[in-house]
Amino acid sequence: MLHLSKNKKLITTLTFLFIIFLFSCQNKEKDSDIIKDSTLNEIKKRGKLIASTECNSTNYFIYKGQAMGYQYELLKLLAKHLDVKLELIVSNDLEENFKWLLDKKSDLIALDLTVTKERSKIVDFTKPYSQTRQVLVQRKYNLAGQKMSKNHLIRSQLDLAGKEIYIQKKSSFSERLRNLSEEIGDSIHIIESSEYDEEQLISLVAKGEIDYTVCDEHIALVNKTYYPNIDIKTPVSFHQNLAWALRKNQDSLMLVINDWMTDLKKTRKYKVIYNKYFKNKRSVQIVNSEFYSIKGGKISPYDDYLKRYSKLINWDWRLLASLMFQESGFDPKAKSWAEAYGLMQLMPLTAQEYGIDTLSLPEENILAGVKFIRHLDKQLSDKIDYRQERIKFILASYNAGLGHILDARRLAKKYDKNPDVWSDNVDFFLLKKSNRKFYTDPVVRYGYCRGTETYKFVNEILERYQNYKNIVKE
């Protein structure tokens, strides 16, 4: 009997170990499937995350030359987590955002998307990062400025019968209002607009151009600070989950984003970002500023000069604006530790060569900077034919000096890299110029250079320029 008992224990143990083995094999197969997921691999391979979003007062905008926005800041953090660059493509047309995703032109849609059954048929949603409900936006005052009586404000969903409500095309509001129309047993006249987004429709209500729109409550609360004459107290839905959207079956990217977002939401950094865009009373000052890109359309106080003088070098004025912001933050009194001064931060000898000094007007400083760029362009034009590539070399030369950039080109050629290509070629050897082995190389004529500063200088200008292009019209 003792022998049988031992055998039974042995069989039980072996069976248990076999089950564990099968389970681990299944998990390995699942892990293998996740690794095979193409989107995350493609993001890593190309070195950048491509996300779509929209321009409005919370998601993505330019203010005093800087890119800002809730979705923008989250995406920057995600790209940093993935150790890749961020590329944004922008449209306030929801349908276009979904098309970009499904056509593989973007990796994800970074918007406050309401999770619905209909949408879940065509995309997968990340773990919800927030919740909201849909509310009716109406005016508290009539066009004469008189406060509306309680009887004139809609408080019951039944009173929406026969009303004309404008909403953004392809939004989840359409589905909710159609369902609500069925629930109340009467018609709600839904007008889907492809011309106006959620926030623009709120503005139209505030101005009295339309009577009603529907939007997410957290967006309504932000906009109420800009338009105190709107009423947003009437809900038209229960609370709903908000999330980002990915293409179907992108399990590894989904897993990474969900884990990252879960950890991020526990941090103080996330609370600061959320409060900045959804609870900050100073946001009214931003939106009312002429340097708020969506309303004022300006990047800096010097846009007119930038537009005029950028033509002398055949540059997009927004690129010149990005260079100016990098150099001085649009401060005409800026002065560096190296004695460079003014909006374009020219060194004293260079400034003197172009006829300016510390007392020169901002316009004169800008023109001198443009003339210096034109000089650098002439020095490089016979070496680098492709104009868009040459711009990177000009920016680098503006920061580090032409001699160091020519040194980096010579190193690239010596080590079988392309001396006419900046990224992963010449920039690599500029970074190496702080290494004794390289700055003492016989082909190097200008010695040591702290290349990391110039490397960042070029990348940050080009990244900011892309943000300007996304939001500010040419």
Annotated catalytic residue, options 73, 199, 217, 327 = 327
The amino acid at residue 265 is K
3-state secondary structure of 108: strand
Task: Report the phi/psi class of residue 284: left, alpha or beta, with left for phi > 0 and alpha for psi in -120 to 50.
Answer: alpha
In a 13 Å sphere around the CA of 30, the CA atoms on its Cβ side amount to: 8
For 227, residues 6+ apart whose C-beta sits below 8 A from its C-beta are: 202, 203, 205, 206
In this structure, are residues 112 and 70 in contact, taking their beta carbons and an 8 Å threshold? Answer: no
Q: Which residue has the tokens 């593989």?
A: 104
Residue 327 annotated as catalytic: yes
Residues 6+ apart with CB under 8 A from 196: 166, 168, 204
Greatest CA separation for the chain: 108
Closest CA to 154 of 138, 143, 166, 132: 138
Distance CA 318, CA 299 (A): 8
Cβ neighbourhood burial of 83 (10 Å; 0-12, 13-18, 19+): exposed
For residue 155, the 8-state DSSP code is -
Spell out a b/e string for 8-34, using b for 16 or more CB atoms within 10 Å of the CB, else e. eeeeeeeeeeeeeeeeeeeeeeeeeeb
Which amino acid appears at position 110 of this protein?
A: A
Phi, psi of 322 (to 5 degrees): -65, -40
What one-character-per-residue DSSP string does 394-421 give?
A: HHHHHHH-HHHHHHHHHHHHHTTS-TT-
419-438 burial, b if ≥16 CB within 10 A, otherwise e? bbbbeebbbbbbbbbeeeeb
Catalytic residues: 327
